Structures are given as C-alpha cells and as structure tokens.
Structure 1
Amino acid sequence: MASNAAVKKVVTVIPVKPVEVVKGFALGAKKRVAAYCRVSTDLKEQETSFESQVQHYTDTIGKRTDWDLVDIFADDGISGTTTTKRTEFLRMIKECMAGNIDMIITKSISRFARNTEDCLHFVRKLKDKGIAVYFETENIDTLGSGGELLLTILSGMAQDSSRNQSDVTKWGILRQFESGRVLVNTTRFLGYDKNEDGELVINEEQAELVRRVFREYLEGKSYNAIAKGLTKDKIKTITGKDKWWDSTISGMLENEKYHGAALLQKTITVNFLTHKRTPNKGQSPKYMIDENHLPIIDKEIFDKVQDEKERRALLRGNLVGDRHKYSNKYPFSAKVFCGDCGNIFKRRQWNSTNTSKKVVWQCKTYIMDGKDACKAKAVDESVLMDAFVRTFNGIYENKQSFIKTLTENIEMIILQRPEGNETETLDNRIEKLKNELKRLIRFQVNNSIDSEVYNEEYRSISEDLEEVRKKRLEHERVIESKDGLKQRFDEILDAINSRDSLLEEFDEEIFNAMVEKWYATLRQDSEIKNCSVWG
C-alpha cells in the first residue's frame, strides 16, 4: 500500500527555443511584414501617392524592432470590388502561401476588398496559415479575439458603400444620357475621330470604307462576301488586323452612329461587384440622341439597309431545319421558288460524265420528300440565267408600255392609300374614349355611380377603345405597306432605266435589283416553261 507521506515535486525549467515554427511563421524571431496599398489612377498623382505610402509603411514597420519589411505591394486605383484585376494583391497572397510573409498591414478594409465574400475568403485563407492582416483605420488584427466578427460587420458596410457608390455613379450617367450629353469611344468603330472638345468628326478616309460596306450590302453582297473583299484588298480593320469577319460587317451595318445618332445604354452592369455587363434587351431604358453628330450615311440609306437585313432574316426562317441561308455567293440563293409546290430551290452540284461538274437548282420538297411530294425536276443554272435574260429583254423591248403600266399601278396604289383625315379621325376617336374612361373613373372615385353600372360602362368603353386602336394600327400598316411597294417599283424602274441596250448575258446586279422572288415552272425537258417574277 502506498504511503501517504508528502511527495517532493521536482521542477525542471525548459529553456526558450531560439525559433519555434507555429502554423508557418516563426515565433521568437522577427516577423516578416508586408504592406498592401492602392494608388491613384492619375499618372501625375501615382508616383507621389506611391512614394508617400512607401514612406509611411517604411516608418511604421521600421519603428518595430520585431518586424522586418518584406515588400510593399501596390495596385493602381481600380475598383476593389473584384480581385481578378489586382495583380499585386494576388502576388502578395502567393508569397504568403509560399511562407515568405508572416503579416500584412493595410490602411483599411475598403483598401483590402470592398467585397465581403472576398475579404473573408482571403482573411480566413491567411489565418489558416497563421498570417495576420492588420487594418490600421479599423484597428483590427485578424488573429486577435473577435477580429473576424468585427471584420464581417465592417466589410459588409464597405460592400454597401461600394453598392451605394455604384448607384450614385449610375444615377449621374443616366442624368447625362437624359440631357443628351454623349461620351462615345471612337477606338472601336471606323469613320470618326474626336476633336479637342470631344465631339465626333468624320475621318474621310475611313468614312469612304464605311460607305463602301453599306453600298455593297444594298447591291446584294452578304456579310461574308463584303468581308472577303476587304481582306482581299488588304484593308486593315479598326484594330489593325488583316482579316475581316462577317460579324464585323454586320455590326457596322447596325451602327446608328453612321447616320448621326447615338444610342446610349446598349449594355448594363448586372453585378456591381464583378462589374459584369450584358446587352440591354429592355431591362433598363435606352436613350436615342438624334442629330448628335455629322452623318456618314444618309438616314434613308441606313433604313434601307435595316429593311434588307430584315428581309434576308425572314428568308432564313425561324424554324429549325427550314432556314434559307442568304448568300450572294450564288445569284439565285433564296430568290428562286418552285412553281409547282412553292418551296425554295436549292443549289446542288452534280458530277457529270465529263470532267466538269454540273450546277443545278432543285426544289427543296423534291430533295427532302421525293417526286411523290413534288414533280419538279432539277434545272441547270445556265437555264435559269438564260430565262432571266429573256424575261428582262422582253420587258426592255416593251419598255414604254411596261413603264406606263407600272406607273398606272403606282397611281392606283396612291389613290387607294388611306387619306390623312382618316388617321386624324381615328386618333380623335381614341382620345375621346380615353377621356370617357377618365370621367367614368372620377365618378367611381367620388361614389357618384353604381358599381354595377360602372363595371358595365368600363367594359364597354375599354372594348371600343381596343377596337379603335386595332383599326389605327392596321391603318398604319396599310400606309407603310403601300409606301414600301411604291419604293420597290421605283427601284425596278431605276434598274430598267439604267440599261441603254438589251442584256447579252446574265447580269447579277440587275437581277438583284429587280427580283425579290422568282417562281419557275419547268417543262419535261427541264427547260423553263413559264416564270413569274415578283419584284
């Protein structure tokens, strides 16, 4: 049995180790301290700003005998809401992960990150390595007690500040838009430079190239053909590249700046933290400033191009598997249709018995579903060309009679056009019904009408208003349709009058100018039996 006598305790002193590594940094040795700052984006202020912060952190760290200055990491004053653009910040984190830094000093949470998520992510990542971040303004040491809780609260406030600043900036920009003040970047589109006052002025050399693109498109060329032509002519793009792309041509043809206008807020910021922008498809208002600067392209020409783009888009169709791809690579693309079933003719290349390949055009229904669905046979491309030459020459030989008939049709269309006073009558009727609704609502608000009577009257007036609005819309469509037909007839007349003799061979430019759709019916020997050209 053990004795209850007092046990003499032996105490041994364990001496302090000169260096003990704990979680990646040395205790008992000097801490390797880095400083992080952001400097002004203004080139004149950058040097002074950086020098003053270097001096500040050199003095601050130099006063501590237990600290050694490793480096001062400085990014320019881009927004702190995202870390992806802050190369020095990321380099500093990499040095920390490599074990070369024990502590970071920075002025404030907002300098370190205005995004709560990013701030906590990096603080925790560094904390796991035993690396402290000290925020001077807030007097927070992330390794100290309560440091992370304070950091969460304060960084959330910093993020709100960033959101508020974003809202203020956005508000200021919108007020500029509404007042017609326009800031346009000229480095991404051809045709304009900026003068000393920041106004757009025409660059004539580039403007001629813009006019060429619009002209060639209206002559029937596709985006791809125009792009290939510019590349072949060794013309540089706005970014100095040798190769042109069809998407660039499409963008040029849609750019409202070429007719002197400026459409503002085409894109919007969807996330104030990432600054990600997305096309504005109606989520926010847009602002169109007309006559903002001198045009390179007449508004009439610009509108014609938009109409032609829409026409070609309609020919492509909206259903999968039924897209008529527009291309001027082949003259009859999306223009020749089957006289039997009405479907489009498609270009095909057959191998003949000789060394050359035979180009034919064939009904899409026949190709897809066979002769039971459509009996139209393939027709040589040369046969189509000869048929158009004969058709045009027949018109040209009877030019005066044709023009007389066409003119009479135009005059008849004008006579059938709704009169201007009909527009006024419909507008007045709409305004009257709207006033009746307002009066009825006032009666209801003042309790001057029975609810059942009110509901019946409201329904009746609303139905009448909807009906008149439909008539007004249809009236407008009729006017636009007849105006479009008249313009189309004028283009056909211009094409005929541009010739001073009969066609000796197929002319693609004349064909494109005159023909919108061409319905061809074939004989048994695949010759054209008859054809109807719809302008």
Structure 2
Amino acid sequence: MNQTAPKVITIPPKPELAQGKAVQRQLRVAAYCRVSTDNEEQLTSYEAQQIYYTDKIMTNKNWTMAGIFADEGITGTSAQKRPEFLKMIRQCRQKKIDIILTKSISRFARNTVDSLKYIRALKELGVAVIFEKEGINTLETDSEILLTMLSAFAQAESENISANVIWGIRQAMREGKVRIQYKKLYGFKRGEDGRPEIVPEQAVVVRSIYDQYLAGASYNMIKKRLEAEHILNVSGKPEWSLSVIRSILTNEKYYGDVLLQKTFTKDCISKRIVRNTGQLPMYLVTNNHQGIIDRQTFDAVQVEMARRGACKSPSRKNAPTGLSAYKSRYALSERLVCGECGTLYRRCTWSKRGKKKVVWRCVSRLDYGTKYCHKSPTLEEGSLQRTILAAISSVMSQKETIISRITGAMEQTLAPIPGETMSLSEIEQRLAEIDEEVRRVVAQTAEQGLSICADHMKALTDECAELKKQRSRIQEQRTNNSALMKRVDDVASTLRQTSPTITEWDDSLIRQLVDTVKVVSAEKIIVYLQGGTQVEQNMVE
C-alpha cells in the first residue's frame, strides 16, 4: 500500500472580493400589465404600458429584462382566466424572475384572496412585487397589512363596477331592450336594422326538427337524421349535440318572443352562470321579431315534452327516480304493457345455437323474476306485430269513425282549447245523435201530446245550441292553428289512403293509430287505438 504524505493546496482569494467588493448580478425584472376591456382605447393603453416598462427596465443598469406579461381584455377578478399571469407565476417558481413590476394592486388582482395568495407565494420564493402607484414592495416587513387593506379596496371597487353594469343591463331588460347572441342562435342572423332576421335554409331545418319531434322522434333520432343528411350546425360543423336540439325545441325566439334574464351571474368573483328559476324577475318581450314556427306548434312541442317527461319508468331497478327516458326507436317501446302487473314490455334479442330471435318481455319479469309478476308471457316479435295488424284491420271497415276519433284526440293534444272538453269530431257525433233523438221525440209528441215531451225537447234544443257555439269556437281556433290543423289533416289523409287490410308493419303508422297494447295472455292481446276504440285479438302465428 502506497503511503503518501498529505499535501495542502492553497486556493487564492479573488482580488475584487478580497478588497470587499461583492460582485452583484443583475436582477431579472418582469412587468405585468392588464387592461379591463379589449376596445381600441384600452389596447392603446396596453401598448403604452409595454413601452413604459421596457424602457424602465432596460435603462436600469442593475436590472435585466425577464419579460413583459400582459393580458388583454381579461377579467381581473380571477387569476385562472389570465393565461399570461399564470405563465409569469410559473416562471417565478422556476427561479427565472426576481422582481415583478406592476402599475397598481387593481392591475395585479381585484380579488383579495387571489391577490394575497399569490403575493405570499412569491414572497416565499424571494420574488418581490413592486406596486408603483401605492409605493409598496412586498418583501418589506410592513407591507402585509397595507396590501390586505388595498386588495380589499380593489375588490370592492370591482364589485361596485360590476353592480353598476348589472343594474344597467337589468334596467334595459325592464324597458324591453333585447340583446341576442347570434353566434349561438341557429336559424337567425342580425338584420340590417339590428333585429333578428331569418336564415331561410336554416329555418327549413328548424321546422323539420319541430315536425319530427311532434311525429314521435326522440332527440337522438333527430340528431342521427341531421348528421346523416350532412346538415351543418350553427358553428358550421356536421356534428349535432342533443342539448342543441333540445335548445331549439325550447327556445321562445323561434316563435318571435324573447325571454330576458333566463340566467344570471352569481357574483363578479367566480362569474358562475346560474339558471334563473325564480331568484330574479324575468322579462318576456312578445312579438319581438318574425318567428320561424308559430306559437301553437311551439306550445304543442312543450306539451309533448311534458308528456314524455312524465312517463314512469318500467324498471325501478334501472331507474331509481321512477322516471324513464323517452324511447321511440320502436313503436311498441312505450305502448306494450303487461296485463298482469301493468309494467311496460321491453324488446330483447335471444341467441340460441347461433340463431337470433327477437322477443318482447315484461320488464318486471326481466328485473325481478316472478317476485312481482308471475305469469306474463314472452311474445315473439313477428307474431305480436301480425296480431296487432290483424286487430287494426278488423276495424278498418269503420275507417271514417276511427279517423274521426284519432284526429279528435290529436286536436285535444296538439291544440287544446281552454275550457273545451270535446273535440270537433265528438261534437259532430253528438249533434247527429241529438238530431236522431229529436226525430224520436217529435214522433212521440204526435202520439202523446206536446206537454209530455216539452221538457225533453227543450233540453235537446238547448244542448244543440250550446254544441253549435262550441263548434264555432273550435272552428275559429282551428283557423288560427292552421299549421297544427294541417298536421291533423295530413294524418287523416294518410289514414284514408291506407289499405283496409294492413299487411306490413310501419312504426310511423302504428304510432299514429295505436295508443296502448295490453298483453292479456300468451293467446290474447287488447289493442287500444287513439281516440278510445279497443279491439280484443287472439294471437296470430
């Protein structure tokens, strides 16, 4: 082993340090600028701040430029919405900045919590923030209390400005002054007079959405149709969302009205948008502009939407709330019910030995076995459809009566008239019955004398007069509801053209004809047609 004596090597001191002169590196100084809005005047101010800070940093021999960070037209109440501010904070954590210059506390942040949080974080990193207007350096010992007070004042100022702006907006709403975001409103554009103007090609799409929905289509079916036809949405993209379709079906602007203050900003700090469910007044401006659809069609859609939303779920197991999502892919999805327990049936596909068979089964049996429903049968789809068609065909010899009942039911559903309990077809039917009864009474009067039948005749005459008044009111309403009545007439025309013997299954036709199908047993069903006609039918193989 080599035994070498230790040797001491002396490293001489640096001459400049030995004489007591410390070498100081230049401090890396950044500046933060922010303007409240993005209009031209404020952008000029923003550019002026950039020039000012560039000159101030570069003319100081002890400083070097670490960057100028600026947010244009961005809120000062939330740091999360200021990307340049957050970038500056990241560089401070990466030890790339020693000092931050900013005009005032209100430029840095108008949220007391944010302001103090970031100032304390920077202080722990050894980064000073210098507020020129207030003359504060955050690394100085007495700055904390003063900063807290001034930050609170800045936030209060922001809240006061926000309150004034909101007051102005709400005052304009009270006066009926409408502001519309055309960027998100399909079917309209800003006209030359500043009012909504219909876009013809988009209006056709809006009307088709309303017609499809009233014909039984779900949001998803409408979405698939729009995308299959390559119809572009309001953003010019071919994808449609269910929320956009629902918005089109529920937005009062499509029939010419504007409802103001449907949402509001909860506070100026979080800027969270909250739906107005009664917390604040709303203002309805009627007949503000020409609508794409009429008011009656819009109301009919809202009625249909409420009806679908009120549907009870067939399965408590899969829907704890008890409500179901509307399904219209198959005509029988909402119509086929179990005669034993009243639960809806569900379409299922069975696979056995590589072969598939479509059947319908009681949802209660599917979810709970025989616990609640003991004997509900499983029905093969083809046989079930043939049986329903046979039931419909058996009453098609009374086609005009069936059509009258169906169109009457449609009138009551699509265009209900306040205070009226009878449809036009029901009134006509009752008037015909009264006419027959009057003839019998007249014949009876000739035999028994006028005094015996006078009261009965007066009652019939009064009822006839009242029914004719109702008929006049409904006919007048039908004229006003021309678009809806056209739908009723179209359905009637389709049914009249339908063959007396229906041999092919058509989901659209079944939706128009059938209200409910009750499964009595494996051998029998009862078909309830729209308007009240019911037909018992043995199963057809």
Establish whether TM, by shorter chain, passes 0.5. yes
Partners of 1:377 and 1:224 in 2: CA distance? 31
Shift of 1:94: 2.5
TM-score (norm 2): 0.73
| Distance verdict in 2 for CA 1:325–1:404, change over 3 Å | closer
Read off the aligned partner of 1:334 and give its amino acid letter: E
- How high is the sequence identity, in percent, across the aligned residues? 38
Shift of 1:316: 4.2
Structure 2 residues not aligned, in runs of 5+: 1-16, 423-469, 532-541
Partners of 1:40 and 1:230 in 2: CA distance? 41
Shift of 1:160: 0.7
Other-structure match for 2:104: 108
Q: Secondary structure of the residue that 1:73 maps to in structure 2?
A: strand
Shift of 1:366: 3.8
Report if the CA contact (8 A) 2:261-2:281 is conserved: yes
Partners of 2:31 and 2:170 in 1: CA distance? 38
1:391 aligns with 2:391: yes
Other-structure match for 1:38: 34
Read off the aligned partner of 2:52 and give its amino acid letter: H
Report if the CA contact (8 A) 2:43-2:72 is conserved: no
1:292 aligns with 2:292: no
Q: Secondary structure of the residue that 1:228 maps to in structure 2?
A: helix
CA-to-aligned-CA distance 1:331-367 (integer Å, 9 cap, x gap): 10111222343221221223367x6522222233444
| Distance verdict in 2 for CA 1:126–1:15, change over 3 Å | farther
Shift of 1:14: 7.7
Other-structure match for 1:508: 507
**Aligned counterpart in structure 2 of residue 96 of structure 1, from 92, 97, 112:** 92
Partners of 2:58 and 2:156 in 1: CA distance? 35
Structure 1 residues not aligned, in runs of 5+: 1-12, 20-27, 420-478
Partners of 1:418 and 1:237 in 2: CA distance? 41
**Aligned counterpart in structure 2 of residue 85 of structure 1, from 71, 81, 84:** 81
| Distance verdict in 2 for CA 1:338–1:493, change over 3 Å | farther
Shift of 1:64: 4.2
Read off the aligned partner of 1:381 and give its amino acid letter: E
Report if the CA contact (8 A) 1:40-1:49 is conserved: no
Partners of 1:190 and 1:93 in 2: CA distance? 41
Shift of 1:153: 0.5
Partners of 1:16 and 1:339 in 2: CA distance? 103
Q: Secondary structure of the residue that 1:221 maps to in structure 2?
A: coil
Residues 203-352 of structure 1: pairs in structure 2 closer than 5 A: 203-317=199-313, 320-321=319-320, 322-351=322-351
Report if the CA contact (8 A) 1:519-1:533 is conserved: no
Report if the CA contact (8 A) 1:379-1:527 is conserved: no
Report if the CA contact (8 A) 1:491-1:513 is conserved: no
| Distance verdict in 2 for CA 1:88–1:371, change over 3 Å | closer
Other-structure match for 2:139: 143
Bigger Cα displacement from structure 2, 58-67 vs 307-316: 58-67
Report if the CA contact (8 A) 1:350-1:358 is conserved: yes
Partners of 1:398 and 1:529 in 2: CA distance? 21
Q: Secondary structure of the residue that 2:66 maps to in structure 1?
A: strand
Bigger Cα displacement from structure 2, 42-51 vs 382-391: 42-51
Report if the CA contact (8 A) 1:403-1:493 is conserved: no
Shift of 1:418: 8.6
Report if the CA contact (8 A) 1:202-1:296 is conserved: yes
CA-to-aligned-CA distance 1:390-417 (integer Å, 9 cap, x gap): 3333333123455678899999x99x95
Q: Secondary structure of the residue that 1:100 maps to in structure 2?
A: coil
1:54 aligns with 2:54: no
Read off the aligned partner of 1:326 and give its amino acid letter: Y
Other-structure match for 2:357: 358
Shift of 1:80: 0.6
Bigger Cα displacement from structure 2, 122-131 vs 163-172: 122-131
Partners of 1:129 and 1:337 in 2: CA distance? 70
CA-to-aligned-CA distance 1:137-173 (integer Å, 9 cap, x gap): 1121222342121111011000111111111111111
Bigger Cα displacement from structure 2, 269-278 vs 76-85: 269-278
Other-structure match for 2:116: 120
Read off the aligned partner of 1:521 and give its amino acid letter: V
Partners of 2:88 and 2:404 in 1: CA distance? 83
Partners of 1:209 and 1:124 in 2: CA distance? 56
Read off the aligned partner of 1:55 and give its amino acid letter: I
Other-structure match for 1:425: none
Q: Secondary structure of the residue that 1:295 maps to in structure 2?
A: coil
Other-structure match for 1:379: 379
Shift of 1:254: 1.7
| Distance verdict in 2 for CA 1:356–1:289, change over 3 Å | farther
| Distance verdict in 2 for CA 1:369–1:159, change over 3 Å | same
Task: Give the root-mean-square deviation of aligned CA atoms.
Answer: 3.6
Partners of 1:180 and 1:278 in 2: CA distance? 22
Report if the CA contact (8 A) 1:132-1:142 is conserved: yes
Partners of 1:314 and 1:186 in 2: CA distance? 33
Read off the aligned partner of 1:18 and give its amino acid letter: A
Read off the aligned partner of 1:93 and give its amino acid letter: I
Partners of 1:93 and 1:250 in 2: CA distance? 42
Q: Secondary structure of the residue that 2:520 maps to in structure 1?
A: strand
